[in-house]
Chain A
Amino acid sequence: MFDLAVVGAGPAGLLAALIAARKGMGVVLIDKRRDVGRITRACCQQLIMDDGYEGESVQAAAGKISFPANAFALEYGGPLQATTDMWYISPENRRIHFTRPGKKPIVTRFDKGALLRGLHEKAHAAGVEIYPAAVVYDVKDYNGWVELAIAGGGNHSLVAARKVIAADGANSRTVAAAGLNEGRQVISTGLSVIYECQGVAGVDSDEYRVYCGTAFGSNAPVHVYPSLTNPGVVNILVGTGRRPPEIVFNKFIREGRAAAAFRDAKVVSRSGSGFRMFSGPLATPHKGGILAIGDAAAYIEVEVQGALMCGWHAGQAAVDEFQGEGGWAKYTAWWRKAFPFFDPLALRAIRAGNLVGFYADDMLDYLFGLLEGQEVEGSYSPYRFPLLLWGAVMQFKDRIVRERPDVWEKVKKTAVLCGLEAK
């Protein structure tokens, strides 16, 4: 019997396992992948650099990623690339240029594989027992200990532990099997694929483009940014609901309004993810001996930085819970305070970030045209980006009312979501 079983060796699970092991617990870490450092799934590989995002102001410098508000730092030996400029592009090629004052980075991209390999080595050295290539598909809580059913290599087996941390991501089976999802429903499914392409010219290493408009071939924004690790390779990220991403991608590079720049794109690699979207986060992410952390318990993705914070707090919480000192409750108090999806105003603001779904293409041309030529403060935070964008648009309120009353009717609704004055 282990003291603690951690399910999922992403940033949250690895750090939780490492912290608990360093504090003397006997820990097993179970992951479906054979090689924990190999990223197979399309996912967040950048730090959002906004001050105060998720209650933290992450710092990235050579060799280290620091979390000053949470009082910890991690060694990281991989590459870092600051993105200081983002362009939002409309069908008629009207461009909004987003920057931050003093050219501070909007996001800092990093090599997630390198980060996970570093944590994996440390977890191994701290005595964490690692079961790779094993899927947890069932959980039973026997009031005092927990039994996990795992499948791997065509065989099924059982693992027993006093406490369990579920860190197996947005589609967590552990959370579902433990009965923690009661009270929240699956509201939709999202699909996204990152196509790594050669043969796309003119994307600089610090540049991030977002194509907005149905004329580009997608009903969601298409993100284009250079690869961090492969020179000459550009990543094209498409997201859809039920429509296969392959169809959207082919439209984007061959028929869409931006096709001229992408027609010669040759796909060298693809990674994808399908994810269930729930009606809300787990407000109480624990039940019996099981604690759910990171995206397994979230509503809006917590990103790698949020996952690391969850792992850091959960590792300590497991020790406290094991010793009967209410670790899960302490973790929960932090969880509800740190993440913006518990704030109704932040959730409302997110809905104002909906551009392609809500505004017709010609409206996007008009709105982007208003802001062309100036530098607008940018953010990659889904909670803060709409506030900055619509704050900038609202400087032109009188002109929009005069020139495009149809656009104003929509802007009014969007501005209200952001809490902006829109009489």
Chain B
Amino acid sequence: MAVQIDFEACIACGCCSDACPTGSLELKGRVVYHDEFCTGCKACIELCPVACIKLPEDVKA
């Protein structure tokens, strides 16, 4: 499972790492994503204030 992050839009506020239940999102000046732990639960998408995280199927649509 993987989300896609638009790094142009990301403001590195850390709301996604608050939300992530598996510790897959890390703050390092910008967000670093470890997809091996991601379960695709969408908690990060819900809390991103700039809507820069999407599921791959939504990016295509």
Q: Are B34 and A133 in contact (CB under 8 A)?
A: no
Complex interface bits, B16-56 against A, C-beta within 8 A gives 1, otherwise 0: 01111111111111001010010000000011111100000
* A192: chain B residues within 8 A (beta carbon): 49
Query: In this assembly, does A179 line the interface, its C-beta being within 8 Å of a C-beta of chain B?
Result: no
Q: Pick the contact of B15: A135, A270, A273 (CB < 8 A).
A: A273
Q: Are B47 and A171 in contact (CB under 8 A)?
A: yes
Give Cα A344 to B24, complex, Å: 39
Q: Pick the contact of B50: A32, A169, A272, A276 (CB < 8 A).
A: A272
Which parts of A144-193 form the interface with B (CB within 8 Å)? Answer: 149-154, 156, 168-169, 171-173, 189, 191-193
* A135: chain B residues within 8 A (beta carbon): 17, 20, 23, 25-26
Looking at chain A's contact residues, is the secondary structure mostly helix, strand, loop, or mixed?
strand
Query: In this assembly, does A244 line the interface, its C-beta being within 8 Å of a C-beta of chain B?
Result: yes
* B27: chain A residues within 8 A (beta carbon): 32-34, 40, 133
Q: Are B13 and A271 in contact (CB under 8 A)?
A: yes
Q: Are A133 and B14 in contact (CB under 8 A)?
A: no
Q: Are B49 and A191 in contact (CB under 8 A)?
A: yes
Give Cα A244 to B50, complex, Å: 7
Residue of B nearest to A156 (CB): B23
Residue of A nearest to B37 (CB): A151
8 shortest interchain CB distances as A-B pairs: A151-B23, A272-B49, A274-B47, A137-B23, A171-B18, A274-B15, A191-B49, A41-B13
- Which chain A residues have a beta carbon within 8 Å of chain B's beta carbons? 32-34, 40-42, 133, 135, 137, 149-154, 156, 168-169, 171-173, 189, 191-193, 244-246, 270-276
Could you pull out 19 A-B pairs where Cβ atoms are within 8 angstroms? A32-B14, A33-B14, A33-B27, A34-B28, A34-B29, A41-B14, A42-B13, A133-B26, A135-B25, A137-B20, A150-B23, A151-B34, A152-B26, A171-B19, A173-B18, A173-B20, A191-B49, A273-B13, A274-B49
- Given contact pairs A133-B28, A189-B47, A245-B49, a sample of 10 additional A-B residue pairs in the complex whose CB atoms are under 8 Å apart: A32-B17, A40-B14, A42-B49, A135-B25, A137-B20, A151-B24, A193-B49, A246-B50, A275-B15, A275-B47
